[in-house]
């Protein structure tokens, strides 16, 4: 017992200060791939190896239209491995949560007729995730208390995931991330929840359960789709067993890309959703 107390005193706090201070990210962490569209001479090898179809190509009238969907991307890095021109690289960016699904889609149009047989960029529309409107370092606990008069309650719903996202969600409760420092807690019943945190490509046997859970959650409520599967179906897509992204079944307010999203990415998305909840409370 004495040793435990001694260890507790000498170790100090293990809790990270994110989002007040930047997250400490391992150099091995895989974040979103970045595309230097001007320097990208040929998108086809990347599209061929992409396991989820996140890079799609359509050719018409001498143009090649390339669509990159971060909502499908599992951050595997294969596109970077096969892009010999160095135009694709994996970053360590993880703050990608957004309220707008379309903002996760990057489009570029290339001319096929440039000298040397290289693609030449003609136009592009970039993907822009939008983070918490308020300063991410805002006093979240105070804001939630002002908003709800109590803590923010989250009901997690596994609608068919591989449990990779669940591992990261569980980590939100450990001493390192300690999400309860914001007054945010996980609850067992949707009837006590303000937010549904939904993972997985919605499997057909979870579809009805998800609808019922949504119906059982009192208004105002927000729904957060977690990970590539929750956003789009991810590696599973839409098939005989899965319906695809969560928004195929219920309305989604915030999307958190990643496979799985790391705890800081989840926290970033939850804070964004909290801002959305605040808006719906003040306008209702
Ligand atoms: S990192 Fe994303 S875009 Fe690149 S190959 Fe993997 S899934 Fe496809």
Give the residue extent of every domain in the chain. 33-125, 140-283
Q: Which residues contact 2 (CB under 8 A, 6 or more apart)?
A: none
Q: How far is the CA of 205 from the centre of ligand 1 (A)?
A: 29
Query: Which residue ranges have their beta carbon within 6 Å of ligand 1?
Result: 33, 49-52, 54-55, 73-79
Residue 121 has pLDDT above 70, yes or no: no
Q: How far is the CA of 93 from the centre of ligand 1 (A)?
A: 14
The confidence score (pLDDT) of residue 5 equals: 81
Residue 201 has pLDDT above 70, yes or no: yes
Residue 75 has pLDDT above 80, yes or no: yes
Substitution site in 53, 57, 77, 234 for ligand 1 pocket (most atoms within 8 Å of beta carbon): 77
Confidence of residue 276 (pLDDT cuts 50, 70, 90): low
Facing residues of 195 across strands? 154, 222
Q: Which residue has the higher pLDDT, 280 or 82?
A: 82
Q: What is the pLDDT averaged over residues 238-265? A: 94
CATH architecture of 140-283: 3-Layer(aba) Sandwich (3.40)
| Structure confidence by residue, pLDDT tens digits, 81-105 | 999 888 899 999 998 999 889 999 9
Q: How far is the CA of 158 from the centre of ligand 1 (A)?
A: 24
Q: How far is the CA of 233 from the centre of ligand 1 (A)?
A: 15
Q: What is the pLDDT averaged over residues 253-257? A: 94
- pTM value is 0.87
Lowest mean pLDDT among 50-54, 140-144, 152-156, 162-166: 140-144
Q: Which residue has the higher pLDDT, 59 or 56?
A: 56
Dihedral sign of CA atoms 201, 243, 44, 68 in order: negative
Substitution site in 79, 227, 229 for ligand 1 pocket (most atoms within 8 Å of beta carbon): 79
How many H-runs (helices) and E-runs (strands) does the chain carry? 8, 11
CB 156 within 8 A of CB 197: yes
Q: What is the pLDDT averaged over residues 140-157? A: 74
Q: What is the pLDDT averaged over residues 220-241? A: 94
Where in the chain does DSSP place strands (E)? Answer: 33-35, 55-60, 63-69, 88-90, 105-111, 120-125, 152-158, 184-186, 195-199, 222-226, 254-256
Pairing of strands 152-158, 195-199: parallel
Substitution site in 31, 50, 72 for ligand 1 pocket (most atoms within 8 Å of beta carbon): 50
Substitution site in 73, 81, 92 for ligand 1 pocket (most atoms within 8 Å of beta carbon): 73
Residue of minimum CA distance from atom 8 in ligand 1 = 50
Residue of minimum CA distance from atom 6 in ligand 1 = 76
Q: What is the pLDDT averaged over residues 112-138? A: 56
CATH architecture of 33-125: 2-Layer Sandwich (3.30)
| Residue of 181, 148, 151 lying closest to 263 (CA atoms) | 181
Confidence of residue 116 (pLDDT cuts 50, 70, 90): low
Task: Give the DSSP letter of residue 235.
Answer: T
DSSP result, 39-65: T----HHHHHH-TT--EEEEEETTEEE
The confidence score (pLDDT) of residue 227 equals: 96
Q: How far apart, in whole angstroms, are the C-alpha atoms of residue 16 and residue 211?
A: 36
Q: How far is the CA of 229 from the centre of ligand 1 (A)?
A: 14
The confidence score (pLDDT) of residue 7 equals: 79
Q: How far is the CA of 202 from the centre of ligand 1 (A)?
A: 21
């Amino acid at each position: 017992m004495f040793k435990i107390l001694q260890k507790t005193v000498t170790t100090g706090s293990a809790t990270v200060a994110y989002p007040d201070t930047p997250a400490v990210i391992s150099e091995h962490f895989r974040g979103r791939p970045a595309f230097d569209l001007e320097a990208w001479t040929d998108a086809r090898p990347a599209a061929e190896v992409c396991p989820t179809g996140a890079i799609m190509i359509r050719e018409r009238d001498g143009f090649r239209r390339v669509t990159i969907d971060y909502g499908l991307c599992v951050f595997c890095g294969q596109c970077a491995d096969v892009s010999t021109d160095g135009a694709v690289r994996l970053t360590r960016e993880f703050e990608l949560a957004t309220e707008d699904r379309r903002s996760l889609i990057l489009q570029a149009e290339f001319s096929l007729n440039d000298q040397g047989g290289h693609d030449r960029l003609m136009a592009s529309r970039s993907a822009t995730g939008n983070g918490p409107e308020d300063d991410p370092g805002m006093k979240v606990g105070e804001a939630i208390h002002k908003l709800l008069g109590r803590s923010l309650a989250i009901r997690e719903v596994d609608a068919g995931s591989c449990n990779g996202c669940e591992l990261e969600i569980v980590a939100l409760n450990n001493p390192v991330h300690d999400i309860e420092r914001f007054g945010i807690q996980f609850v067992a019943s949707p009837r006590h929840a303000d937010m549904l945190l939904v993972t997985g490509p919605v499997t057909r046997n979870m579809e009805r359960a998800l609808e019922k859970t949504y119906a059982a959650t009192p208004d105002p409520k927000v729904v957060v789709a977690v990970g590539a599967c929750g956003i789009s179906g991810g590696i599973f897509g839409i098939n005989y067993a899965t319906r695809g992204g969560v928004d195929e079944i219920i309305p989604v307010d915030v999307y958190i890309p990643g496979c799985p999203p790391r705890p800081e990415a989840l926290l970033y998305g939850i804070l964004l959703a909290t801002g959305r909840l605040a808006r719906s409370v003040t306008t209702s």
